[in-house]
Structure formats: structure tokens, C-alpha cells
Chain A
Amino acid sequence: MTSTTVNNRSTGKVMIRLENLTKRFPGQKHNAVDNLTLDIYEGEIVVLVGPSGCGKTTTMKMINRIIEPTSGRIILDGEDVTTTDPDALRRRIGYVIQQVGLFPHLTIGENIATVPKLLGWDSKRVSARVDELLEMVNLAPESYRNRYPKQLSGGQKQRVGVARALGADPDVMLMDEPFGAIDPITRDRLQNEFLRLQSEVRKTIVFVTHDIDEAIKMGDRIAILQDASKIAQYDTPEQILTAPANDFVSDFIGNGASLKRLNLSHVSDIELTQWPTVQLGTDHNQALDMLRRSDRSALLVLDESGRPRRWVGADDLHRGAGRPLDEIGLPAGAMVEPRATLSDALNELITARYSVTIVVDAKGIYQGVVDIEQINEAIRGMRSSAVARARAGLAEGAEAGSTGGQP
């Protein structure tokens, strides 16, 4: 769901254009950001990722001019905002930082109301918006509205931080390692929640991280940055994983690029294999007959509503003669839903008894199975389509270029 749909989701309209952006801090010999040009499309999450000190945070902070650029232009939604009133600019842009920075002396409600109040909304509209946002980030308004930040856990604080940034419904959000200071389990949950939220609100988001896995997970497009914010590659996660532009990118992705690629495809993207199934209560001889006719070593037993219950092999049928089907064989484990990634499916598959992962829908009803061949196929498919796309870009030649940045 992340990036395979980039082209469908994006309207193709450039929301933020950075033109020859340069920053040199006083007393420094080298530019922290050197002549960066980047187009960011409406409704996409663009992740700026790179080693520490590469200038990714500086780049992001120049967009809302927390750091003023030394030269170059920032164009937001067609308007040059390089020299406009910075406070007015910032009220149009949501801002989330790693340390969250909630105002400790104000309640959660008052924190979220900050920008709407600055924009002079009336109090009714403000409080309605606060409740709406708290709902959006899965915090019950009536119990959280009047709490103070110190009464919240780290994960809850960051949710409030996101809600606060969405306060006045800005078109653009800047997020500086928003989940960086949160424990891995909570981080994973927050990332998923945020992606779900983004699928509803469709903001243009610039997201900074140093973690390539987070970039692959969150990004519709990823800009891998080298020293002084030089773009090593600016492309979709699939392209970056399948066709790294240079050694820097391959090094940065590190080992296991193909495993990472499995995070990009979902079970729903591939055609499922069917496995011989049998209803609970079926006669053993009939079941044996079915098993003989199939080329598999076991049958999948389904209950009345079609939920997988057990694996039953030929041995089980012989030995357990006379006992009901749901008392012999092995319980059916290793199940995933269609929106799971292929990486999840592979994970389950490795531990499964018959080397397949069962796919069930949201109600738990059997849909089919995924086996290792299909996952292999998917990887091969991704690679060849990426190669084809890379070749197509080659053919278009230099006049059009790709999506900006380095070829």
C-alpha cells in the first residue's frame, strides 16, 4: 500500500519546489546544503534519508525557514515563499519534531489548538477541531483533552504532536525523525497508524530519517542524500531497492535489499495458489480419495463458515480412523491477511509445517495460500519491471529527465 500505488495517488502537481537551495552557516568553510534542487509532489510522503551530518534536517528546516537559506528559492504551491513573512508561512505548514516539544504548561487540547487560535478561529470551531484530531490519532477526546503533557507516555505525546501539526489542516507537513525516540514496538504501531491517517488526509509530507527501513516503509518517494544534501538518488522505494543509482546508494541500503523489497509488495498484489480443502465432517475415505487425487501431502480442513482449522495428512487419516477431522492432524497456523506484506508472509512460511502461508480475509475465511515459489516469482517480477523502467528512462533521453534529481 505504500509505494506500489505512487503514480495513482500522486496528482503529479508539484507542491514544494526547492530551487538551487544553499545554506552555509556562519564561520563554516563548506556549505551545509549545496545547491539542492528538488520537486515534491502533492499528496506524497517524501523521505529525506542519509547519514548523520548530510544536511537532511537543515534541508527540511529551510522549507519552513526555521533555518533561512543562504541562497536559492523555496516555492510552495506555486508561490515563492523565500522572503515572505516566516510566521505566516509556518502557520501553513505542520511541523513535527523528534522531541515533540509539547507545551508543558498547556493542556493537550490547548496544545492542539495552537495554530487554529493563531489563525483566529472562533472557539467553537477550535474545540470541534481539537476533538476531531484527537479521534484521528486514536486518543479519546474526553479523557485526553484536559490532561497535561507530563501525564502522557512517549508514544501518546508523539500522537499529540502529530495532531497538533495537523491543527489547522495544513497542506504540507514537515516531520523530523518523528518516531526516532520511541521504542521499536510502539514505533511500528505509530508508523502504521500514521500511514493509515495519511491515506485519509493525503498531505504532502517531507519526512526526515536516518533509518533506511523507515524510509522504505514510510516513503512514496525517497531522496537519498550524500554530503551537503547532494542527491544520490531520488526515486520510489522499489526503484531504489532494485536499481540503486550508485555505490553510495547500494552501501546505504546495505545487505538484504531483496528482503527489504518484500516489504513493498502485499499478499493482495499476487495471485494466490489454491490448496486442496475439505469440510469438517467429511468422511475419511472421501478425504483420502481427495488427497490421492491432489499432488499435495495434506488437506486443509475448513469449518462450516470456511475458516481454516487443521492440516490433515494421509498418516493422520489412517491412524485417526473414526475420529472427527478436527481432532486429528495439526492445527492450522501461519495465517496472514491480504494486506500483509510478502515479508510477513515469508516469515510465517518459514515456520509453517507444510511450507505455505494460509491467506484469510478479515473475517478469517480461507482465501488461498502463498508458497515460496510465488514469493520468488514476486521478487523476480519486481526486478525485471524495475530494470524495464530504468531502461525506459534511458530511452526518453536527457531532455525530459526522470522525476528530478540524479538519473
Chain B
Amino acid sequence: MSDTGAGVRTGIVAAAEPPHHRRTLTGYLLMPALLALVCLALYLYVSSQELDSIEARSLNAASLTKAIWEHVQLTAVSTLLTLVIAIPLGVLLTRPFTRRIRPYLLTVLTIGQAVPTIAVLVLLAVAFLFLGFQAAVVGLVLYAIIPVLLNTMVGLEQVDESVLEAGRGMGISKFGVLTRLELPLSVPIILAGVRTALVINVGTATLTTYINAGGLGDIIVAGLSTNRVLVQIVGAALTAVLALLIDYLAGIAEDFLRPKGL
């Protein structure tokens, strides 16, 4: 199980495979309890403050719920699209017939990742007058593809060659070898990539406020432009809580989706 070897071959090291054992029940409950505590503290602190009209415009249940919901939607849709694009692409790029174009494509994608999302978003807005939710999703997907793609490729390449040879030697078809051996055996590493993509997307989705796509970025930017520290803190804290919560959920999904016996 050396993903480092495969990582060296592609020139980029993918996210490491997570530890093998499922956590205990207390382990599972620790993170949600902590996050709930943070939210409670935040609520009590904000309630104890006298809000002026500008603060009250951002810090009310309706606008906060809207911002959080938009943020979750942005993250979910962009991650889903990322998976739909990156996993099949990763499969294609590990087949023998794409060996020739593999290095070029990887170079292009890696350069793509070096360009900051904010730049992509602004370019989309200015050059193509492409704004709003859909533009935001495009920006997020472009950025999150790389970790998922690389992890898919590394995951597929680290599968023990003798397992595949045994499978082929027993008369499992090429497609069967992919779906029944290669993909299940690379699930842990692919999932690690998906988790990375999710976390990246939660974070970067705060930037999409600049192209009018909503999200928790709205709250933070509102606080910044009106110079209201309390609003900034609430926006930033909620973003952090959401990111940690999504990472936690992804971690649970990893624990349960990993094939037994690995």
C-alpha cells in the first residue's frame, strides 16, 4: 500500500490514506459536541450585545440561515460536479491508451490549480459577464478537480498488480477488473481526495460573494465594508464551524465506505 511511489511517478503527492480503524463512539461524538458548544457561545455572546441597525440587518435568523443554506448548496453542487468530472477522468487517465497524453494533461491541470480561485471568479465575471451561482460553481469545480483527480489516479495505481493479474487470469473482463477490483480497492484514497475537495470548496465558497453568489461570504464582506467587527466574527466563525462539520461528516463517510478487509 504505498501511495508515495505512485505519487512520485505523477510528480505530485496526493492526500494520504486515512488511518485504518473506526473511531470509538466518544470519538464520533467529540467533534459535534465541540461545534455545538462554539455555536452556543457565539449565540450567547451576540444575544448579550446591543445590536445597531446595520449589525441587526446581517445578524438575524433569516439572513444567517439563507447565507448558510446558500453556502451548503454551493459546496454540495460544486463537489458533486467535481466528482462526476474528476473520477471518470482519473479512470481514463490510468488506462494504458492514455499513457501518452497523461503528463501533458496533468501539467495543465496543475497550472490551473496554481491560479487562485478569486482570479478565476473575477475573470469569469469581467471577461464573460458570467455571475451568480453557476459561475461560482464553475470556479469552485475548476479548483477542486485536481485533488480528486490525483487521488483517483494514485488510488488506482497503488492497487497490487498481482491482484489484477489474478483477476484477469481467472477470466474477469477488463471492465469487471475496473469495477470489481480496481475501484473498490482505491476507495480509501479516492475518498481522501473527495474530503480534501469538500474542505477546499467550503473555504473558497466564501469568495463567491464577490460575484453575487451568496453564501457566508456575504456576512463577512458585509461586516468588513461596514466596519462591524461583530458581524465579521460571526461570519468567520460560522464558516469555520461549517467547514469542520463537513470535514467531520466526510470522515464518517470514509469510515463506513471503506471496504472491509483493507
Contacts and interface: CB of A to CB of B under 8 A. Distances in A.
B241 interface: no
Interface string B162-195: 1111111111110000000100110000000000
Interface residues of B, number: 20
Interface in A82-105: 86-91, 95, 97-105
B184 A100 contact: no
Nearest to B168: A66
B170 A95 contact: yes
Contacts of B184: 105
A101 B173 CA distance: 16
A115 B169 contact: no
29 contacts: A66-B165, A66-B168, A66-B169, A87-B171, A88-B171, A89-B171, A90-B168, A90-B169, A95-B166, A97-B162, A99-B160, A100-B166, A101-B160, A101-B166, A102-B166, A103-B163, A103-B167, A104-B185, A104-B261, A105-B184, A105-B259, A105-B261, A114-B167, A114-B172, A118-B170, A118-B172, A148-B260, A149-B261, A161-B166
A103 B168 contact: no
A60 to B, nearest CB: 11
B119 interface: no
Contact of B169 (A64, A106, A149, A167): A64
Interface in A30-87: 64, 66, 86-87
A95 B162 contact: no
A106 B162 contact: no
A107 interface: yes
Nearest to B164: A101
B162 A101 contact: yes
Nearest to A147: B261
A125 interface: no
Q: Which of B164, B172, B262 has the most CB of A within 10 A?
A: B172
Contacts of A174: 169
A103 B181 CA distance: 7
Contacts of A148: 260-261
B250 to A, nearest CB: 21
B54 to A, nearest CB: 57
A105 B185 contact: yes
Contacts of B170: 90-91, 95, 114-115, 118, 164-165, 167
Indicate the member of B162, B173, B261, B262 with the most A CB atoms within 10 Å: B261
A318 interface: no
Contacts of B169: 64, 66, 90, 95, 97, 174
Interface string A239-280: 000000000000000000000000000000000000000000
Interface string A344-388: 000000000000000000000000000000000000000000000
Interface residues of A, number: 31
B162 A100 contact: yes
A97 B166 contact: yes
Given A87-B173, A90-B171, A105-B261, 16 more contacts: A66-B165, A90-B170, A97-B166, A98-B162, A100-B162, A101-B164, A101-B165, A103-B163, A103-B166, A103-B167, A105-B184, A115-B170, A148-B261, A150-B261, A164-B170, A174-B169
Given A104-B262, A105-B185, A87 B162 contact: no
A174 B171 CA distance: 13
A95 B169 CA distance: 6
Interface string A130-152: 00000000000000000011100
Interface in A149-187: 149-150, 161, 164-165, 167, 174
A107 B259 CA distance: 11
A89 B165 CA distance: 15
A119 to B, nearest CB: 9
A115 B171 contact: yes
Given A107-B261, A148-B261, A102 B163 contact: yes
Contacts of A64: 169
Nearest to A110: B261
Contacts of A89: 171
A63 to B, nearest CB: 11
Contacts of B168: 66, 90
Contacts of B162: 97-101
A161 B172 CA distance: 16
Contacts of A66: 165, 168-169
Nearest to A87: B171
A167 B163 CA distance: 17
A97 B172 contact: no
